[in-house]
Amino acid sequence: MNQARHSGVWILAEQSAGHVEPVSFELLARGTALAERRGAELTAVILAGRLSDRELGELIARGADRVIAVESPQLEHFLLEPYAACLGELIARDRPEILIAAATTTGRTLMPYVAVKAGAGLTADCTELDIEPGTGNLLQTRPAIGGNILATIKTPRRRPQMATVRPHSTRPAPYRACPYRAGPYQAGSDRTGPHRSDGTGRIERFSPAVSMLAGGVRRVGFVPIDEQRTIEDAEAVVVVGRGISKPGNLPLARSLAKALGAAIGATREVVDRGWLSYSHQVGLSGKTISPRLYVGVGVSGSVQHLAGMQTAETIVAINNDPDAQIFKVADFGIVADLFEVVPALTEALGRRRTGGQQNAG
């Protein structure tokens, strides 16, 4: 493969119901750092039913030099085959050097399919990305073996170099208003300049051919879950462990979650007992989460659970067992009866909030 023919850093942005998903802005932060190191243009690709210039402009305001919006009513919701065909077509035309996506249900499904079709290497669920001095290769670092070790992986001979990035593993790129012009898609690897070279962004709209939209899967319905916030999206998660004793005690944790603006997660024991549904489960056989704040309530911290949460930014553990494993990865620990600590913490948070409002007033 002639690697010199590949240039440019791409991120795969995601949308839902006509709005760009915030995880896209985390990718722009990653992409900006890589594009600067490579002296390359940063492109955000997004597939959607239809997105306004204003929505797409936010991708430019947060770092993209160029946005490619692939739009068709059939692309409103993620479906593997049409998404893969459209993304594959753009890769073939533009030959990016690097393509990163979020390790969401969409990214973790689409990227391996596209990587096979493109003959490209792919690394899952990275927490660090860097450029190797000299070779310019993408260095992709990810937790492995339940998070006990980190592995750095590269793709020396294939392009694009592809990676999915763990959500919340970096802060979103800041918003800085930037002018842009909008027009049709133009295959563009031959006119790729360095990042932010001319101070304006471009929005290019691409209408896929009918053949790219074919596929064997049809979306016939959607049932939203009743939780307001899901554990994968939430900046804060309160996780309930077996220490909660019975489902009747869950409101205690819910009050704390409300005070923190947090989603509710659960350990495997709690899900296996049927106290909360599987969509709440954190750990090796559930979700891997990386929120800014994790609060474990009566969580002992099995190896399997720790694997699913230890990259959280700040970890708080409340458990009456001083030897609980969770304290080994925690920043703050309170060793006491959770039935006393949780209400006290909820109240302290509530007091802070009303106090803060008085100060602000």
Partner 1 sequence: MRIAVPIKQVPETADVKMDERTGTMMRDSVEAIVNPLDLYAIAAAIRIRESLPAGECELVAVSMGPPSAARALREAIAMGIDSAVLVSDKAFAGSDTWATSYVLAAAIRKLGPCEMIICGERATDGDTGQVGPGIAAWLDLPAVTYVGRIESVHDGLCRVRRLVADGHELLDMSLPGLLTVVKEVASPRLPTLGGKLRAKQVEIPHWSAGDLAVRPDRLGLDGSPTRVVKIFRPTVTRRCHKVAPTDQDAIDAAAGSLADALADRGLL
Q: Using CB under 8 A, which residues numbered 239 to 258 contact partner 1?
A: none
- 3-class secondary structure per residue, 242-292: HHHCCHHHHHHHHHHHHHHCCEEEECHHHHHCCCCCHHHEECCCCECCCCC
Considering the rule CB under 8 A, would residue 292 count as an interface residue with partner 1? yes
Cβ neighbour number for residue 337 with a 10 Å cutoff = 13
Considering the rule CB under 8 A, would residue 44 count as an interface residue with partner 1? no
Asked whether the beta carbons of 111 and 120 are under 8 A apart, the reply is: no
Residues 109-138 that bind partner 1 (CB under 8 A): 109-117, 119-125
Smallest separation (angstroms) from partner 1 to the CB of 17: 10
From the list 133, 134, 216, 248, which residue makes contact with partner 1 (rule: CB under 8 A)? 216
From the list 33, 48, 86, 307, which residue makes contact with partner 1 (rule: CB under 8 A)? 307
CA-to-CA dists, residue 172 to 2, 72, 167, 304, angstroms? 34, 27, 10, 28
Considering the rule CB under 8 A, would residue 347 count as an interface residue with partner 1? yes
Sole window of 66-74, 175-183, 186-194, 280-288 interacting with partner 1 (rule: CB under 8 A): 280-288
Nearer to partner 1, 180 or 275 (CB): 275
Smallest separation (angstroms) from partner 1 to the CB of 262: 10
Smallest separation (angstroms) from partner 1 to the CB of 197: 31
Query: Burial letters for 81-94: b for 16+ Cβ neighbours within 10 Å, e otherwise?
Result: ebbbbbbebbbeeb
- Rg over alpha carbons for the chain, rounded to the nearest Å, is 22
Nearer to partner 1, 4 or 225 (CB): 225
Smallest separation (angstroms) from partner 1 to the CB of 159: 10
